[in-house]
């Protein structure tokens, strides 16, 4: 799994942190990538900088890529937690929200100004989620709270394992042993979507019709929400812990094997066989992230490789070559023009990937 010229060397910027990267996301306007570390630090990397790579109009080729003429600025580093950051989300106000095992939920703006929004003395704040509608939620064990413009709380039948707002922001999905609780934040009502086992990851389809969970038992369990029908998708050699829907909602991409697994969702069928993409090697896929508008997937591997492919496609573009620590964080900027990733060894990189670089006709 080696590429002669990985895109990060042509179009990227790299840094080294002192601890494992635990999560990555971008702020709402895409100006900065935020990455949390295993020592409780939040680092911010600028999406653009003076002298960075750019596109220039060309008389015959349409556009010409101009490589960076100046190095990127150093990472901005902010100590946020007395321990490990367990969750990270883009804050509706423009910065970031970080949840930690010190029992604090901290809001940090891009200048590094920090404000504690919630505390859970003696407990961990395990998960945090935000919505496009401006809602904030966090989970601590069996307790889930909405904070900010809308305040409420919910007690679960078991400790939470994942937290994710629906695309509309009206519903909050909370995974726990025995299923997923769906909380209607406006009506302040909840219902249980039951399934045997322990769901550990969640993904909503872009239209909000489907909710899918990655199960501890090497399978997917999902629901078609308008009628409540269950969806069972199995056959994984490993646990699918990273799930991402394509922008058009027609494909669900997951890890759980040596290549990315792509399930048809237009509509899904229990008898359907999934397609695969990426490169198979001795190390499996660790993370998947679908592009926000194109039929394009970013894959991170336990071997340290990062690559781009299309659902079910055979071709790949290497962002980072094989070799090094597992990829532990992967996130597209909101406009899809940049990709951030981090590894368990503390390597951090941003790669400039403007849409003009890709000729993709329709969705797969």
Nearest to 230 by CA among 247, 200, 210: 210
Per-residue model confidence (pLDDT) at position 281: 86
* CB neighbour list of residue 249: distance below 8 Å, 6 or more residues apart: 205, 206, 207, 209, 210, 265, 266
Q: Helix (H, G, I), strand (E, B), or coil: what is residue 336?
A: coil
- Rounded to 5 degrees, φ, ψ at 309 are -155, 175
Q: Which domains does the chain have, with CATH numbers?
A: 7-358 (2.130.10.10)
- Rounded to 5 degrees, φ, ψ at 9 are -80, -25
Per-residue model confidence (pLDDT) at position 364: 40
My answer on whether omega of the bond before 191 falls inside 30° of 0, hence cis, is: no
In contact, 339 and 13? CB cutoff 8 Å: no
Please give the average pLDDT of every successive group of 10 residues along the chain, which has 364 residues. 75 95 98 98 96 82 82 96 97 97 98 97 97 94 93 96 97 98 93 97 98 97 93 96 98 98 84 88 96 98 97 92 97 98 98 83 41
Per-residue model confidence (pLDDT) at position 3: 46
**pTM summary value:** 0.94
């Amino acid at each position: 799994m080696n590429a002669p010229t990985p895109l990060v060397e042509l179009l990227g910027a790299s840094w080294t942190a002192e601890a494992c990267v635990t999560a990555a996301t971008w702020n709402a306007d895409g100006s900065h990538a935020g990455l949390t570390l295993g020592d409780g630090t939040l680092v911010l990397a600028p999406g653009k900088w003076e002298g960075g790579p750019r596109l220039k109009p060309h008389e015959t080729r349409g556009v010409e890529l101009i490589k960076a003429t100046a190095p990127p600025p150093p990472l901005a580093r902010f100590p946020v937690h007395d321990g490990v950051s367990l969750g990270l989300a883009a804050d509706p106000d423009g910065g970031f929200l970080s949840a930690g095992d010190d029992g604090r939920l901290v809001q940090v703006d891009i200048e590094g100004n920090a404000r504690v929004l919630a505390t859970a003395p003696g407990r961990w704040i395990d998960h945090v989620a935000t919505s496009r509608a401006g809602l904030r939620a966090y989970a601590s064990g069996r307790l889930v709270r909405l904070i900010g413009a809308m305040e409420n709380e919910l007690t679960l039948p078991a400790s939470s394992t994942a937290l994710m707002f629906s695309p509309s922001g009206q519903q909050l999905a909370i995974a726990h042993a025995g299923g997923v609780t769906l909380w209607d934040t406006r009506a302040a009502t909840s219902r249980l979507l039951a399934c045997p086992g322990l769901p550990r990851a969640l993904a909503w389809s872009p239209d909000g019709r489907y909710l899918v969970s990655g199960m501890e038992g090497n399978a997917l369990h999902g629901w078609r929400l308008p009628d409540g029908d269950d969806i069972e998708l199995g056959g994984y050699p490993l646990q699918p812990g990273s799930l991402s829907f394509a922008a058009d909602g027609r494909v669900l991409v997951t890890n759980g094997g040596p290549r990315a697994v792509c399930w048809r969702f237009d509509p899904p069928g229990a008898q359907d066989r999934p397609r695969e993409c990426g490169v198979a090697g001795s190390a499996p896929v660790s993370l998947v992230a679908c592009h926000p508008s194109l039929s394009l997937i970013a894959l991170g591997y336990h071997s340290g490789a990062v690559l781009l492919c299309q659902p079910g496609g055979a071709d790949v573009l290497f962002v980072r070559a094989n070799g090094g620590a597992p990829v532990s964080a992967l996130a597209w900027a909101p406009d899809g023009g940049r990709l951030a990733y981090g590894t368990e060894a503390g390597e951090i990189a941003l790669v400039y990937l403007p849409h003009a670089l890709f000729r993709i006709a329709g969705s797969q």
